[in-house]
């Protein structure tokens, strides 16, 4: 399977845990169609016909992430919180294989503790937190990065859960955003990683208790990230192989 030419619509799959929205009245009020729908709307708002967006959720068969679904996905976004442990190891291994093979992955907020993010990072992905309506300011520190295009300096989120350092991740390949909170904590809130042939972006704003995914600036960041994470090569996980001397010479095949 090959990556589509850049003229083809980007095939985006928005994955949502979809539990808080069905179990907590407050969250349902903020996100009547589910948080995944708000994320998808934000992407569509910015990418329009350049993207073909689907949403899938935890309680679908195979969590909606069959081999076929992933093979038909250029970029996957991930929001989970309450039910990380209910995601099957088999599906996690499948998603990982696709990311290492080139599929883009955008991990949102509490997704820092998802199986897929932790297995790709190799670290604990732990952090400090507090859910007391801190104001979050998101500062761009990489103004040349396409994920920061059109994002206000600072991006102001009036109420948010606090996520604070030390955030136990590998040093990002590119650090795009740093947040401060009204309580004084800071957080590396926009982090680029490359793993295998896949491009990964972690973006921390987005707690279920606040209308963060309706925020124009947040939607802009997520849409930028989805566009940026487009695969650049044919899907296929890197592999090991024995290569005789001169294998790359014309006529020797590779």
The neighbour count for residue 28, using CB atoms within 10 Å, is 15
Binding to its own copies by residue 53, rule CB under 8 A?
A: no
Look up residue 221 and give its two tokens.
């960041």
Q: Choose one: 12-20, 64-72, 78-86, 117-125; the region binding its own copies (CB under 8 A).
A: 117-125
Binding to its own copies by residue 235, rule CB under 8 A?
A: no
User: Nearer to its own copies by C-beta: 54 or 97?
Assistant: 97
User: Nearer to its own copies by C-beta: 32 or 48?
Assistant: 48
Minimum CB separation of residue 60 from its own copies in Å reads 26
C-alpha distances (whole Å) from 149 to each of 56, 143, 145, 214, 217 are 28, 8, 7, 18, 10
- Read off the DSSP letter of residue 213: G
Three-state DSSP at 67 gives helix
Among 85, 144, 251, 253, binds its own copies (CB under 8 A): 144
Q: Say how many residues make up the chain.
A: 254
DSSP codes joined into one string, 93-136 = HHHHHHHHTT-EEEEEGGGGGSHHHHHHH-S----EEEEEEEEE
Q: How far is residue 86's CA from residue 108's CA, in Å, rounded to a whole number?
A: 18
User: Nearer to its own copies by C-beta: 17 or 161?
Assistant: 161
Interface of this chain with its own copies, residues 188 to 207, rule: CB under 8 A: 188, 193-199
Q: Choose one: 20-28, 65-73, 201-209, 240-248; the region binding its own copies (CB under 8 A).
A: 240-248
User: Nearer to its own copies by C-beta: 32 or 183?
Assistant: 183
Binding to its own copies by residue 120, rule CB under 8 A?
A: yes
Minimum CB separation of residue 224 from its own copies in Å reads 9
User: Nearer to its own copies by C-beta: 39 or 137?
Assistant: 137
């Amino acid at each position: 399977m090959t990556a589509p030419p850049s003229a083809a619509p980007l095939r985006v799959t928005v994955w949502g845990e979809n539990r808080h929205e069905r179990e907590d009245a407050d969250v349902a009020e903020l996100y009547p169609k589910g948080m995944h729908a708000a994320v998808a709307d934000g992407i569509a708002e910015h990418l329009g016909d350049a993207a073909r967006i689907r949403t899938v959720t935890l309680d679908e068969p195979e969590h909606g992430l069959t081999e076929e679904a992933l093979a038909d996905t250029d970029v996957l976004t991930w929001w989970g919180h309450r039910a990380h442990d209910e995601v099957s190891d088999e599906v996690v291994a499948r998603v990982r294989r696709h990311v290492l093979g080139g599929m883009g992955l955008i991990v949102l907020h509490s997704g820092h503790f998802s199986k897929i993010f932790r297995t790709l990072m190799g670290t604990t992905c732990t952090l400090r937190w507090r859910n007391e309506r801190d104001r979050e300011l998101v500062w761009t520190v990489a103004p040349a990065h396409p994920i920061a295009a059109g994002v206000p300096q600072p991006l102001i989120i009036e109420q948010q859960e606090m996520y604070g350092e030390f955030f136990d991740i590998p040093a990002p390949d590119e650090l795009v955003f740093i947040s401060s909170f009204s309580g004084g904590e800071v957080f590396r809130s926009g982090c680029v990683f490359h793993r295998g042939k896949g491009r990964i972006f972690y973006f921390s704003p987005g707690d279920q208790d606040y209308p963060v995914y309706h925020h124009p600036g947040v939607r802009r960041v997520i849409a930028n990230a989805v566009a940026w994470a487009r695969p650049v090569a044919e899907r296929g996980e890197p592999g090991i192989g024995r290569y005789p001397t001169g294998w790359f010479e014309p006529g020797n095949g590779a």
